[in-house]
Amino acid sequence: MTTSRNSRCSHCGTFYFYHPSGWSGPYNHPEYCPDCQETVKKALEKVPVRIYKKWVPTDDYTREQLQAHLDNRSNNGANAVMRRIMPGLYDLKKKVWQESLCEMMPDPKEPHRSFWYLCQWFPGEEDKAKVKKQVWWDKKENKMSKEQWDRDPGPLYPMRVVPMVMGGALSKYNTTSEGA
C-alpha cells in the first residue's frame, strides 16, 4: 500500500501525486513534479560530488561500548527500541548473516557532536569486530571534511547578552561569558 498526496510543483505549478512513503519511480520528490525533478536530477549528475558520507575506522568506541549504549537505551523496559538497521553481509559458506550494531553516540573529543557508529561481525568473530564512524569525507583532500555538521550551528550563543534582556532568569546558563 502506498500513500500519496496531491502537491503543486514549486517550479512549473502543475499538480502531481507525491508518494511520501512509497516508491513511485525515480523522480518522486516532495517539491518538484516528475518532469521537473527529472530535469533537476539530470543536471545535477554533471556536478561532481565533493563531500560525501563515509564509514571510517575509529577507536572512539569498542563493540562492547556500542552494545552497552544500546542496552542502556533498552533498559527502560521497552522491548521495541528504535534501531538503525544496516544491511549486513551473508557468509555463503557458513550460511550466516553478519550481526550489526549501529548507534548514534557523542564524539568523545567533541561531546556536543554525535555521530553514527557501526560495528558488524560474523557470529563467533566478535573479537575481530571493528567499529566505524560515519563522517563527511572530502573527496579531493581524501580526508575527513572540516565541517562535520549538516547545518552550521553558528557561533556559540552570545549568552552574555541574555542577562540584559531577560534579567537574571537565565543567568545560570551564562556559561560563555567573556574570559571563559
Q: How far apart are the first and last CA of the chain?
A: 56
37 makes contact with Zn ion (CB under 5 A): no
**String of b and e for 98-127 (b: at least 16 CB within 10 Å)?**
bbbbbbebebeeeeeeebbbbbbbbeeeee
Q: Which of 18, 36, 117, 120 binds Zn ion (CB under 5 A)?
A: 36
Q: Which of 3, 5, 8, 12 binds Zn ion (CB under 5 A)?
A: 12
Least distance to Zn ion, CB of residue 36, Å: 3
Q: How many CB atoms lie within 10 A of CB 169?
A: 10
Least distance to Zn ion, CB of residue 40, Å: 9
33 makes contact with Zn ion (CB under 5 A): yes
- Nearest residue (CB) to Zn ion, 39 versus 145: 39
Name the DSSP class of 88.
Answer: P
Tell how strand 143-144 and strand 130-138 pair up: antiparallel
8 makes contact with Zn ion (CB under 5 A): no
29 makes contact with Zn ion (CB under 5 A): no
At residue 171, the 3 state secondary structure works out as: helix
For 32, 126, 139, the CA distances from 117, given in Å and listed in that order, are 34, 16, 21
- Nearest residue (CB) to Zn ion, 11 versus 19: 11
Least distance to Zn ion, CB of residue 47, Å: 20
9 makes contact with Zn ion (CB under 5 A): yes
Residues that bind Zn ion (CB under 5 A): 9, 11-12, 33, 36
